[in-house]
Amino acid sequence: MSHARQFLEPGPVVLLTTRHAGNDNVMTLGWHQVLDFSPSVISCVVSRGCRSFDMLRASGQCVLNVPTSEMLDAVVRVDNCSGEEIDKFAAFGIEREEADDVDAPVLPQCHARLECRLRDDRAVERYNLFILEVTRIRARRSPKQPEFLHYAGDGVFMLSGKRVSRRKLFRPEMLGF
């Protein structure tokens, strides 16, 4: 589970999926961070106006799906409409499957899928901040260096660029994911 860091720490936009009372929803989420890696704890901000806010709070579970640049248009379209007006899965060609551990849809078109349970909702009232524990990760083996999306503001996305290693400058205990 500590590998969650590998996918979330560089700051990619993710697709948050939830299920509650027979409804599935998906939202675009850029505000998340790693809080710990053993166990793997993640926090994320979900706006109070979003349908996903109520669904996550009520169900206590979700999936963080990490899309690559091929899904850019779907990511933006999901972000600019509401699940109350439209079936976002059908409208934007987003496939879904059942998760292993949680009752929420997983998006197989995404490179990585992190199943999460709500661990702590004490900061929800003040900051809309949900603290999640990752219970399962599934990721594709290839490509080795997927092009993830990072939101740079004002409608512009930054794609993951070149990778450079500085392993030799790290103390051995600081390496790993």
Question: Does residue number 156 form part of the binding site for its own copies (CB under 8 A)?
Answer: yes
Question: Does residue number 79 form part of the binding site for its own copies (CB under 8 A)?
Answer: yes
Q: Which is nearer to its own copies, 23 or 33 (CB)?
A: 33
* H or E segment to which residue 36 belongs: strand 32-37
Nearest CA to 109 out of 150, 68, 56, 58 is that of 68
Question: Does residue number 107 form part of the binding site for its own copies (CB under 8 A)?
Answer: no
**Sole binder of its own copies in the list 24, 54, 103, 120 (CB under 8 A):** 120
- Shortest Å, Cβ 115 to its own copies: 20
The DSSP result for 84-137, as a single string, is TTS-HHHHTT---EE-SSSSSEE-TTSSEEEEEEEEE-TTHHHH-EEEEEEEEE
Q: Which is nearer to its own copies, 98 or 177 (CB)?
A: 177
Query: Rounded CA gap, 142 and 1, in Å?
Result: 19
Interface residues with its own copies (CB under 8 A) are 3, 5-6, 9-12, 30-36, 41, 43-45, 69, 72-73, 76-77, 79-80, 120, 123, 126-129, 131, 147, 150-171, 174-177
